Amino acid sequence: MKYTCIKENLEKALDLVSGTAGKQVNLPILLNILIQAEESGVKLISTNLEMAVKVQVRAKVEKTGSFTVPAKTLTDFVHLLPEEQVEMELIESELVIRCGSSSTKIKGMSADEFPVVPEVEEKHGYVLKVNDLKQAMSQTVFACAKNEVRPELAGVFVGLFTERFKGLIMATTDSYRLAEKKVPVEQGEDEIKVIVPSRTVHEIIRLLALAKEEQGESNVRLWISENQIAIRYDSFELTSRLVSGRYPDYTQIIPTSFKTTALFSISAMTKKIKAASLFTTMGVNAVSFDLNSSENSIAISSTSTQTGEHASEMDVEISGEENSILLNHRYVLDGLQNLGSEEAEFKMNGADSPCLFKAKGNEDYLYIVMPIRQ
């Protein structure tokens, strides 16, 4: 194996693949990146057995072949090279890297030991705008369950062309809050419902943030089969297993009407909640919201046996009846941070019912928080 490429291209490719290599101590080969030099170019591949990432690198290949080297060592080293051409050659069981005036040998392992990465089943295919997909994933994945007692809740529900919406719906819930985002689809029409592991979604967000919209490529391709999802954009392709099981019917907890609606400034509300959060009991994080429709104000208060108590008011626009609710401040702040707007609506029915937050005038994204029972 022998090839030459530009340092910048190699560095970018390594940054893309190295995130997946890594945490498996019982299988040392998974700490490595597989380098495949073919006549058409060079491929870098990493996997953790749940997901795999392949990246194409533009290179001049003199001799084909394949080899694996530790992801961290290679990535860290390439970052330190000068902005020049990099030559890589496999000599016996070492990867020889020549760049400028330096020559380095990195020990690795045979490519035969690297797990076979399954090919993408191009079954149900879709095309979406890359920024829409990235935003939808960021606005939902944070509300996944953090433990895997119920594996389906630790994943992200992905529904395409379902009875609820003729496009893409992503939803997450950990039983205490719920986030749902609707996104238009450029191409594709098959109905499908799957659960994507939250780790996969975090990795896709990272890859999309690193990848560049080259030659005006603003579309991302998505394929879904019974047990696999694949995404292709820029020079990378990610494949991942899906979570088996059915996602619970979360739509039952979304209220269809509300008794009280308040319109407020997100930045002002965030400051008020952060102040109140300093005076809450650890673990419960309870902050009280009292909506006063006659005075168009929300009173925000909290109390803690350790730190003291706090009360403040803010002017808002309220329609409907007076109402109050006790909420976990962390859940509320998470939601407000993801609304991506200056003004938001706070809708509720009573102290024992779920309340809803949404950006003013935006029907594509909703965030629901369950009340803390008194």
Q: Tell me whether residue 232 is in a domain.
A: yes
The answer for residues whose C-beta is within 8 angstroms of residue 149's C-beta and 6 or more apart is none
pTM over 0.75: yes
Identify the domain boundary among 56, 82, 113: 113
Identify the domain boundary among 190, 215, 250: 250
Q: Residues 265, 266, 272, 273: is their CA dihedral positive or negative?
A: positive
Residue-level pLDDT at 149:
85
242/260 same-domain check: no
Identify the domain boundary among 69, 92, 113: 113
91/152 same-domain check: no
> Cα dist. 284→56, 279, 348 in Å?
48, 11, 21
Q: Tell me whether residue 244 is in a domain.
A: yes
Residue-level pLDDT at 159:
98
Task: Residue 133: give its domain's CATH number.
Answer: 3.10.150.10
Domain holding 235, by residue range, is 124-250
CA distance 82 to 100: 7
Q: Which of 113, 118, 105 is nearest to 28 (CA)?
A: 113
The answer for residues whose C-beta is within 8 angstroms of residue 317's C-beta and 6 or more apart is 262, 263, 264, 296
Q: Tell me whether residue 21 is in a domain.
A: yes
350/285 same-domain check: yes
Residue-level pLDDT at 120:
82
Per-residue pLDDT tens digits of the chain, which is 374 residues long? 999 999 999 999 999 999 999 776 688 999 999 999 999 999 999 999 999 999 999 999 999 999 999 999 999 999 999 999 999 999 999 999 999 999 999 999 999 999 998 888 888 999 999 999 999 999 999 999 998 888 999 999 999 999 999 999 999 999 999 999 999 999 999 999 999 999 999 999 999 999 875 556 799 999 999 899 999 999 999 999 999 999 999 999 999 999 999 999 999 999 999 999 999 988 899 999 999 999 999 999 999 998 999 999 999 999 999 999 999 999 999 999 999 999 999 999 999 999 999 999 999 999 999 999 86
Q: Tell me whether residue 374 is in a domain.
A: no
52 bridge partner residues? 47, 239
CA distance 238 to 230: 6
CA distance 295 to 241: 53
CB-based contact 103:87 (threshold 8 Å): no
> Cα dist. 129→58, 161, 187, 199, 354 in Å?
25, 16, 10, 22, 32
- Total domains in the chain come to 3
Q: Tell me whether residue 118 is in a domain.
A: no
Q: Which of 106, 118, 120, 121 is nearest to 31 (CA)?
A: 106
Q: Which of 213, 191, 318, 189 is nearest to 262 (CA)?
A: 318
Q: Tell me whether residue 273 is in a domain.
A: yes
103/149 same-domain check: no
246/141 same-domain check: yes
> Cα dist. 334→141, 274, 338 in Å?
11, 12, 7
Q: Tell me whether residue 119 is in a domain.
A: no
31/76 same-domain check: yes
69/138 same-domain check: no
In single-letter form, the type of residue at position 257 comes to: S
188/294 same-domain check: no
44/155 same-domain check: no
178/245 same-domain check: yes
CB-based contact 137:204 (threshold 8 Å): yes
270/322 same-domain check: yes
Q: Which of 21, 116, 94, 35 is nearest to 68 (CA)?
A: 35
101/132 same-domain check: no
Residue-level pLDDT at 171:
98
Q: Tell me whether residue 172 is in a domain.
A: yes
